Amino acid sequence: MSEDRGAAFFDLDKTLIEGSSGVHFARAAYRSGMIGRRELLGDLWANVRFRLEGSTDAASEDIRDRILDAIAGIPVKELQRLSPGVLAGVLPRIYPEVLRTAYDHQDAGRPAFIVTAASHEMAELMAHVLVLDGGIGTRSKVINGVYTGEPDGPFTYRSGKAQAIVGVAAERGIDLLASYAYSDSESDLPMLEAVGHPVAVNPDTELERIARERGWRIMRFDQLRRRLRIAAAAAGIGIVGGGGGYLAGRLREGGSRTLLRLLRS
């Protein structure tokens, strides 16, 4: 690859796919017996909040820590076997407009990468299935084919994402000024600012403000009706109080059934 060749970097959740990939991993893990109902409901509720409010630093750090704790002592192969279930949930939620954009970049000679705070395995799996050029995600340390529960490198979130793409660019001779980055969230501002052509996709309020001020391209096609359905269901769930654990309060049984039905759609 010549040194003046650009690339395209795509965030995963709410950019390449509708909603969060993590909830589909949670479903697959629940079906396999790896996590319980309480953990599943926590991840479903986190997905609802993510769809409505976008990512937050605290929530993303919490999810990373929970995932590392959950996979400690689990063989890599056991997680790999969840892939069919994860893909069954994720693939129908891909935004075709964004995937087409990725393919257009490839056709123009720019490799296309998925960059996500989710696991590196998830990023590579999605990149492989979608015929993209690579996945970049959060790595977990593995010893003798088993996850230790410890991170193996930076958390690919905020400045960590920018650090990751700078590393890939250095390895592959990619010119970041000639490159493109796509994201929905203000949290990805470091990644967007690291390239010459940032693009806001279904942006949250803060990213949309920044994009308009700086004249960045904005792509918007999130399904408003689905967002309103989620908001209505969330309002009826009956969240009360703060509390710890996996839920931001206490879910009434009827509300949890509503949430499960909604997130299956």
Active-site residue, selected from the candidate residues 4, 11, 107, 175: 11
R_g (Cα) of the chain, nearest Å: 18
| Tokens found for residue 155 | 């958390």
DSSP 57: H
CA distance 244 to 227: 26
How far is CA 72 from its chain centroid? 21
Active site residue 13: yes
H-assigned helices in 34-150: 37-53, 57-71, 76-80, 83-90, 96-107, 120-129
CB 149 within 8 A of CB 68: yes
DSSP 75: B
CA distance 142 to 77: 11
CA distance 243 to 237: 16
Torsion of CA 250, 251, 253, 257, to 10 degrees: -160
Active site residue 11: yes
Torsion of CA 194, 196, 202, 207, to 10 degrees: 60
Picking from 226, 26, 101, 61, the residue whose alpha carbon sits closest to that of residue 114 is: 101
Give the three-class secondary structure for 95: coil
Question: Which uninterrupted H or E stretch holds 141?
Answer: strand 140-143
Active-site residue, selected from the candidate residues 4, 13, 107, 133: 13
The residues annotated with a catalytic role in the active site are 11, 13
